[in-house]
Structure 1
Amino acid sequence: MNLQEQIEKDFLSAYKAKEEVRVAVLRMLKTAIKNRQVELLRPLTDEEILEVIGRQVKQRLESIEQFRQGGRAAMAEREEAELAVLKAYMPTQLTPEETAAAVDAAIAETGASGPKEMGKVMQAVMARFKGRIDGKAVSEIVKARLSS
């Protein structure tokens, strides 16, 4: 069963169980996937669906941060509940230690020696661990490694 079929199946079971948040999140996710399919004029691969989910996760993270800054705890909690539903479909994320090791390996691989070559390292790490690694964390580690 591919990822899109799994999402559809989970949506139906959540709908029948009257799980409000899950139904809302999966409905939005299905719409985002459908919109992407219309853009590309073809069905999406599981990897492309993970990209769509990744964008949804990123939106939720940004919303949570903004709601917390604005003192809207209830809205932030709702976004966190939605985020938990979305993360269930994402591959397991690398730990901070694994992320640091991946950056070190990419630096050695690309031969990067200074901040000007940050893009090469970022590209290597992000391509290898697509969907499983936090770009912001990678960026911070790469900056620290290449500036010292």
Structure 2
Amino acid sequence: MSLLESLNQDMKQALKSKEKEKLSVIRMVKASLQNEAFKLGKDDLSEEEELSVLSRELKQRKDSLQEFSDAGREDLAEKQVKEIDIIQTYMPAQLSEDELDSIVKETIEEVGATSKKEMGKVMSAVMLKVKGKTDGSLVNQLVQKHLS
């Protein structure tokens, strides 16, 4: 089942069960997907493009969560946490730190990186492999650890 079909099905379920927050988040994600398709001039997005949109939506909410927490707005921070949880249900299974660590080591060997100067090459290669399956900041930390 495609992401859009899954969102439509969950939207109907949220309407029936009167889950306003879930319905709102699903509508926002659906709108983002449709906007991206329009921007690219396509009818349907590829799985990778859908994943990219989901990742962007998730990152926006995580950034907002941080801002609200820093500002002491726990009510808004709580709302962001709920939205993050809903969006994460549509994301692929996340990699464990051990799995990610082995991918980082493997990629460093493939690229032939030996110093932190080559961190950009390693980061871009790793992120292509793990797109949507982990957080970029964790990848950054692991790459730095292995290149130092």
**Fold conserved between structures, TM > 0.5:** yes
Contact 1:91 1:131 in 2 (8 A): yes
Partner of 1:120: 121
Map Cα deviations across residues 40-98 of structure 1 (whole Å, 9 max, x no partner).
11121222111111101001111111111111111111110011000000001111222
Supply the distance in 1 between the matched residues of 2:100 and 2:74 (Cα, whole angstroms): 31
Alignment-mate amino acid for residue 14 of structure 1: A
Alignment-mate amino acid for residue 54 of structure 1: S
Superposition CA RMSD, Å: 1.0
Unaligned runs of 5+ residues in structure 1 are: none
Tell me the TM-score normalised to structure 2 length.
Answer: 0.95
1:1-148 → structure 2 map (5 Å cutoff) = 1-42=1-42, 43-147=44-148
Supply the distance in 1 between the matched residues of 2:28 and 2:72 (Cα, whole angstroms): 25
Supply the distance in 1 between the matched residues of 2:82 and 2:41 (Cα, whole angstroms): 32
Supply the distance in 1 between the matched residues of 2:107 and 2:94 (Cα, whole angstroms): 18
Identity %: 40
Map Cα deviations across residues 121-146 of structure 1 (whole Å, 9 max, x no partner).
11221111111121111111111221
Alignment-mate amino acid for residue 140 of structure 1: Q
Aligned length: 147
Contact 1:54 1:131 in 2 (8 A): yes
Tell me the TM-score normalised to structure 1 length.
Answer: 0.95
